[in-house]
Structures are given as structure tokens and as C-alpha cells.
Amino acid sequence: MKQDILNSLPKSMIPNQVQHYLLMAAMTEPKQAIAYWEQLKECLGLVDLNYNELDGTTLSHLYDKLDPGASRLLPMVYKNLKDFTDDVLLHSIKSYYRYTWARNQYFYDQVLRFAKDNQGIDIILLKGLSSAFYYADDSAIRVTEDIDILIRREQIKPLLKKLDKLYVLKEQYKLTRITGSTHSATFIYNKTELDVHWGILHKNPSWDVCQYPDSLITLDKEKNLFVLSPTYAFFHSMAHGIMPNNISTIRWIIDCSIIAKSHPIDWDLLVSLAKQSGHLDSVLIAITLLNSYMQIPAHILAHVAKLDVSISIKNKVKSWNKIKDFELPNRSFATKVSDMLEFIYLDYKTRYKFPLLHYVIKLPFELGNYILNRWF
């Protein structure tokens, strides 16, 4: 069962050898983690470096050999091993670790400024800042590139109208569709990308996590700052991490580990949320992968093993995977073309690079979405 699921996934979603060594070096006990660190160095050809000749470029010899998704794990590897080895290469990560701390502090300051400018609005931190400032014991271990916040649906329309007037909108959206197929808008806020969400799920934007009374934890009552409570944050990390991206999203495994180490996870609630939101396949895939890196309760694994999700996964995965990375038998040419067009439609990076192509492809999807919502 497990192998069947893994075989149905694109290679980019499964940690490769280098990513696996990094994950293990970041997540396991130091004695075991050091062994994985040494394996990583050997795999990258960094065992015999002459550090005396590198002249301050030690970190670049490691960083430049990693893909962007893998390099984001380095601060956590440093945090896990820095007190247990004198390895020069490992300690060269210290500068990246400090930079991550400073960058995250800047992002959090921007959130506080945003909260001050929009008093009365509940601001729910998502993804990186949630992990860095609530779930992790050190804000320097979680690399973030932007600010992700969730706004309650009853508060989102007036806020978006206000932001439209004040800031540059990077990713297009329509106010009339905020409960339809769009779940967020990206603004340039003080030279920082601010992703304003009114939904947390790409595949089901209308699903409202705030409808659950136990879904939020107060981070700062005075400033109306919140984070998703542990099981909901864990679920979001899984659902978002399984989505395709041009950059490997393996850090969702780290996020899940950080959350689970600091708070107990209600696994039955997790499965329930997956069913209610239509993300059972994503969570089952995530659990299958995550079982290699952390302990999953036996009854959850047994539940996964009983479900025949192969057909369901094949039906759902086509809308969020690059065709070149995904292989299924007996797929017609028309299906392949449809899948590729759908990926171009969903891929926000394509929208930036080829806006005209995006809108040409977008029309039939928009029309179909309108007809379905209008008539059914």
C-alpha cells in the first residue's frame, strides 16, 4: 500500500538522497544526526575540503550544491548539531542561521505594523511565521520568504478594498470571487510580499478553518494576533506541503515535526478535517511520507492501510502536479493536454511570466466555474 502511494507521486514530492540526509540531520538525536551530516558531506563531495584555502567562502561550497528547498533546512541542521561537533563546514552555517533570525524578526515587525494599521482585524499567522514565533523554540531555524496571514471571511472584503488603495497588488484576484476558486491575494507591503488569505486550502478555497471553535490560539490578545492550533496547523502544513511548487516543499516535514514536538496532535481530528475539507488523499499521502521521519500512531497507519486511495489519488493529483514529473498508465493524449493546461492555470508563477497565456487558458476554466456555481 505504502509503496503504491509513493509510486504514484512525482519525484519532486519525495525527498531525494541529499534532502533525506538534511532532514535526518535536522530532526534526529545529535549522535545519529552527525552520522547523517557526514553522509551528506560525502554525497556532496565535501569531505576533503581544505578550509584554509577557502578564504571565507566555506558556506557557499555547501549552499551552492543544494536546491533552494533543501538549503532552507540548513539553519535547523546547525541548531541541532552546533553543540556536538567542531566541524568547520557545519559552523559556517551560523551566518545563515543569524540572517534567518534577523529576517524573521523583520517580518514579525511588519506584522505588528500591519496590525497597528488595521486595528480590529483578527490576524492569524500561517506557515513560516507561525512555526518561527509560536511552535519552534528558536525563531532562527525556520526560513521564511514572505508573510502569510489569514483573515476571517467576515472581515476580508473591507480589508481588501483598503489594501487595494494603499499597496501594490502582485497576484490578481476578484472581490466577487473570494469564496470561489481564489483563496488569497499577494500585496507588496513595505517592500515585503504579504500574502493575505481568506482560505487556507488551494483545492478547496471555500473551506473555512475559522468555523471550528478550537482552531485558533491567541498569540497576542492586545494586537489581535493568532495562530492555528496544533492539529489545524499540522493539517495545513500537510495539505500545503503536498501541493506542487517549482521549489521543493520538503520543509513541511520539518514544520510538522516542530509542531508535534511542542504540542500533542489529535490524529483522529486530523483525519476528520481531511475528510470534511476534501483533502483525505493529500493527508494520506503526507502521512505515508511523514512516517519515515516521525512516529505516527498505529491506529492511524492501520486506517491508512485499509483505504484504497490509488484511484482517488490518480484523479486528484492531476490538478496539482507537473505532467513531466507524473506518470500514469493508460492516459490519453487529450487527458495529458488537459492536465497540462490545468497546471498552467493553477501555477501562479506562470501567471507572472506569461500573463497573456494564462488568461487565454483561464477563460474556459472561469466559464466552467461560473456555470457550475450558478446552476448547481
Which triple of cell numbers denotes residue 102?
Answer: 534577523
Q: Where are the domains of the chain?
A: 2-97, 107-305
Average pLDDT over the chain reads: 80
Taking residue 371's Cβ as centre, other Cβ atoms within 10 Å add up to 10
| CA-to-CA separations, 5 to 67, 286, 311, 327, in angstroms, rounded | 25, 10, 10, 13
Buried b (16+ CB within 10 A) or exposed e, 38-59: ebbbeebeeeeeeeeeeeeebb
Domain 107-305 has CATH 3.30.460.40: yes
- CA 348, 66, 256, 131 torsion-angle sign: negative
**pLDDT for the residue 182:** 73
Instruction: For the chain, count helices (H), then strands (E).
Output: 19, 7
Model pTM? 0.78
Give bridge partners of residue 216 from the DSSP assignment. Answer: 228
Which triple of cell numbers denotes residue 303?
Answer: 486506517
- Which pLDDT tens digit goes with each residue over 92-143? 999 999 999 999 999 999 999 999 999 999 999 999 999 999 999 999 999 9
**pLDDT for the residue 326:** 31
Return the beta strands (E) in the chain as ranges.
Answer: 123-125, 147-151, 168-169, 184-189, 192-197, 216-220, 225-228
The answer to whether residue 352 scores a pLDDT higher than 50 is no
Q: Are strands 192-197 and 147-151 parallel, antiparallel or unpaired?
A: parallel
- Which pLDDT tens digit goes with each residue over 242-251? 776 667 778 8
Which triple of cell numbers denotes residue 302?
Answer: 492501520
Which of 40-54, 287-301, 309-323 shows the lowest mean pLDDT across its residues?
Answer: 309-323
- Which pLDDT tens digit goes with each residue over 153-191? 999 888 988 888 878 777 555 544 444 557 888 888 888
CA gap 232, 277 in Å, rounded: 12
**pLDDT for the residue 375:** 57
Buried b (16+ CB within 10 A) or exposed e, 286-304: bbbbbeebeebeeebbeeb
Q: Which is nearest to 125 in space by CA: 104, 141, 140?
A: 104
The answer to whether residue 308 scores a pLDDT higher than 50 is yes
**pLDDT for the residue 292:** 83
Q: Per-residue pLDDT averaged across 43-51, rounded? A: 83
Supply angle C-alpha 362, 363, 364, rounded to 5: 100
Supply angle C-alpha 150, 313, 183, rounded to 5: 20
Region for 98 from its dihedrals, namely left if φ exceeds 0, alpha if ψ lies in -120 to 50, beta otherwise: alpha
Which of 118-122, 217-221, 272-276, 338-342 shows the lowest mean pLDDT across its residues?
Answer: 338-342
Q: Are strands 225-228 and 123-125 parallel, antiparallel or unpaired?
A: parallel
- Residue 192, classed as helix, strand or coil, is strand
CB 136 within 8 A of CB 258: yes
Query: Which of the listed ranges 2-11, 55-64, 195-204, 252-261 does the model predict with the highest average pLDDT?
Result: 252-261
The answer to whether residue 256 scores a pLDDT higher than 90 is yes
